[in-house]
A = this chain, B = another copy of it.
Amino acid sequence: METFLPKFDSVFSIDCVIFGLDEGELKILLIERNEEPFKNWWALPGYIVEQDESIDNAAERILYELTGLRGIYMDQFYTFGDVNRHPQGRVITVAYYAMLRLSGNKELKPVSNYASKAVWISVKDIPKLAFDHEKIFIRGFEKIRNKISYQPIAFELLPEKFTLTQLQNLYEVILNKKLDKRNFRKKMLNYGILKELNEKQKGVSYRAAKLYKFDKRKYAKLFQKELTFGK
């Protein structure tokens, strides 16, 4: 088919803000760039979208190529399109985020040599980043903070079995404030999306806490709280 579309020298990319929780510390995934521009700088995992792949697929592929992480489901959260965000031309980037459990220490091994390495870095300790990636990161962090405030989604970051204290710590890290233990438990248990297990924490030198699991089926029924006016 003949195309009427103008051909611009412009490029799409994807950038990923991937959150993970490591022993109570919230981290994100960064790569060290192995190409100009910003060679040897830290950056969000991101690359160019191919012409024949959807942006969702591109996101998954790119994350895999740069970090070795496979099949991670991500959500789009914002598209950054300032004219000069890339020094070499017009690049519009669609930013995705995901929250991952780091249990099992997923190995990070870039497949593409566009990245020389990929590492988890604490959100409290983010170095200078290439391009406008700091802006993208901040926006992504706001996104999950906002999301967690409406929907109890923080489970994605925890190991499959977790204690209520771990869950509370996670909330405290993301929301950046202290919460009351009794109220937190009351509310969480009230959601009815936790399943108490007949198991306890192991290897701690104090009273072991009960372990819980996240109940996805029940979660699906909950969801989004609305502005209400009665009746």
Contact = CB atoms under 8 A, between A and B. Distances in A.
A229 B76 contact: no
Contacts of A183: 229-231
Contact of A5 (B51, B55, B89): B89
Interface stretch (A90-98, A122-130, A193-201): A90-98
Contacts of A82: 54-55
A30 interface: no
A53 B171 CA distance: 39
Nearest to A82: B54
B231 A88 contact: no
A35 B3 CA distance: 12
Interface residues of A, number: 58
Nearest to A182: B230
A73 to B, nearest CB: 16
Contact of A171 (B52, B148, B184, B229): B229
A56 interface: yes
A206 interface: no
Contact of A54 (B81, B179, B230): B81
30 contacts: A1-B87, A2-B88, A3-B9, A4-B88, A5-B48, A5-B86, A6-B11, A6-B48, A7-B11, A8-B11, A8-B48, A8-B51, A9-B51, A10-B10, A10-B12, A10-B51, A12-B12, A12-B92, A51-B90, A52-B90, A55-B81, A56-B81, A92-B94, A148-B227, A149-B225, A171-B229, A175-B226, A178-B231, A180-B231, A183-B229
Interface of A: 1-12, 35-37, 48-49, 51-56, 58, 76, 78-79, 81-83, 86-92, 94, 146, 148-150, 152, 171, 175, 178-180, 183-184, 187, 224-227, 229-231
Given A53-B83, A76-B78, 14 more contacts: A3-B9, A6-B48, A8-B11, A8-B51, A52-B90, A55-B82, A92-B92, A149-B224, A149-B225, A152-B227, A171-B229, A175-B226, A179-B231, A180-B231
